[in-house]
């Protein structure tokens, strides 16, 4: 019942628009600040996450697999991450602000939120994850008052044409 309200109701769409704009502004300003701030470098953050990983009550590392990922893949490829993080944040924010490909933008926003969270950065990530799941669950309705109103039907129509051409 709640899911139907979230995914189909116009009042819900208005509430989702406010949440979407809040998250979009947060993502966009974070990314734009990194892009225009004179050279973003994630290596210090990654080294800190590796040196002081998330530990449980017993003092043991909780996400050893993630620390291994940071150590063996992210840090050696820091140039890629220095590009992906600021541009990813900016584009996620832009997608949410404009309501364009909202579901995809929120999915990638959640991936980034979880990445920061697994690295030990709590900050506003739990709130962003909670609100992000609401947006993701709402699907198309979260972008109803945005560009998704035109973009999603266009994509569905275009994808539908491709299927009929492939069959014929």
Over residues 46-58, the pLDDT tens digits come to 999 999 999 999 9
CB-CB contact of 95 with 101 (8 Å):
yes
Instruction: Report pLDDT digits (tens) over 13-60.
Output: 999 999 999 999 999 999 999 999 888 999 999 999 999 999 999 999
The pTM assigned to this predicted structure is 0.89
Q: What is the mean pLDDT of the chain?
A: 93
In this predicted structure, what is the pLDDT of residue 163? Answer: 56
Largest CA distance in the chain: 62
Q: How far apart are CA 159 and CA 165, in angstroms?
A: 10
pLDDT of 160: 81
Per-residue pLDDT, 37:
86
Residue pair 13/142 in contact (Cβ under 8 Å)? The answer is: yes
């Amino acid at each position: 019942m709640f899911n139907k309200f979230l995914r189909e109701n116009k009042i819900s769409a208005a509430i989702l628009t406010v949440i979407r704009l809040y998250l979009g502004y947060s993502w966009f300003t974070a990314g734009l600040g990194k892009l225009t701030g004179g050279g973003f470098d994630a290596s210090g953050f990654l080294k800190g996450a590796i040196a002081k990983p998330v530990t449980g009550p017993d003092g043991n590392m909780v996400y050893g697999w993630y620390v291994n990922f940071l150590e063996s893949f992210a840090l050696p490829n820091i140039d890629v991450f220095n590009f992906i993080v600021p541009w990813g944040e900016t584009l996620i924010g832009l997608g949410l602000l404009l309501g364009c490909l909202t579901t995809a933008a929120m999915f990638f926003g959640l991936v980034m939120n979880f990445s920061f969270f697994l690295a030990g950065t709590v900050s506003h990530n739990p709130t962003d994850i909670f609100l992000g799941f609401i947006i993701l669950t709402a699907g198309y309705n979260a972008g109803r008052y945005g560009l998704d109103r035109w973009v999603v039907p266009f994509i569905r129509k275009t994808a539908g044409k491709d299927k009929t051409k492939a069959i014929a």
